[in-house]
Homo-oligomer: A and B are copies of this chain.
Amino acid sequence: MTDGVASTGRGRGGMSEQRRRRVRLEISREAARLFWAQGVDGTSGDQIAEAVGLSTRTIWRHFRSKESCAEPIVAQSVEWELATLRSWPPHRSLEEHFATEAKRLVSEISPSEQADAGLGVKMIRLAETEPALRTAWLMACDQVERELAAVIATRLELEPDDLQVRLHAAAAAAALRVINEYVGAGLLDGTDPRKLGDENFAFIADAVRTATGGAVGDPVRAEEAPAEPDGSAAGRRK
């Protein structure tokens, strides 16, 4: 996951850590643009370097492989979902939380972030035909799965490496991946620009609920020992 050189620790010295992310994003932007325009195989490391105004050597200092140049832009496109999941308070339902967070987001998003999101969608789309990019996409989904495991673990008051938690996380992450692919493909195929309304959040939440057998999605009653967590809030689909 951590791509470039090991640590820098961030301890002392300078502006690393945040600056590094900016550089990687910058490279990723140009790489994604080129990948989309001429394909992955049709794009050379030298081209990326030239496009971003750095030496080829420096590109490889920041990314372990050509395909991984696309990772930051892909990761960023799921970052807001991740952040939303991380900040999901126990006492709220998934759809509620998504809806309010989404409202907060639309007012804060900048044009450049919007452009990045567009590139991310394109990369996800490209990943369906370019095996090299599929890796980057699946890796990002893998990351979502891990974070989701942590979120679910706290909600269910279990360990993140508990088998049941891992199963739920994997299923939910897979559902989110499919929805991302579906929505992204729809957007690129011209399906109107702004129809990602509240209805979609209910759909997402329901997909997660279904994928986890109803175990994840509803508010969690704090301070109450779940002696028999069954039959509480299952089947709510359609």
Contact = CB atoms under 8 A, between A and B. Distances in A.
Interface of A: 131, 134-135, 138-139, 142, 145, 163, 166-167, 170-175, 177-179, 182, 207, 209-215, 230-231, 234-235, 237-238
A226 to B, nearest CB: 12
What does DSSP make chain A's interface, helix, strand, loop or mixed?
A: helix
20 contacts: A131-B139, A134-B142, A166-B182, A167-B175, A167-B179, A167-B207, A167-B210, A167-B211, A170-B175, A170-B178, A171-B171, A171-B172, A171-B174, A171-B175, A171-B211, A173-B174, A211-B211, A213-B234, A213-B235, A214-B234
Given A167-B211, A171-B172, A234-B235, 12 more contacts: A134-B139, A138-B142, A163-B178, A167-B179, A167-B210, A171-B171, A171-B210, A210-B212, A211-B213, A214-B234, A230-B235, A234-B234
B163 A167 contact: no
Contacts of A213: 209-211, 213-214, 234-235, 237
A209 B215 CA distance: 13
A163 B178 CA distance: 8
A10 to B, nearest CB: 23
B166 A170 contact: no
A182 to B, nearest CB: 6
Contacts of A212: 210-211
Contacts of A171: 170-172, 174-175, 210-211
Nearest to A145: B174
Contact of A167 (B135, B145, B166, B178): B178
A163 B179 CA distance: 8
Query: By CB atoms of chain B within 10 A, which of A131, A142, A166, A174 has the most?
Result: A174
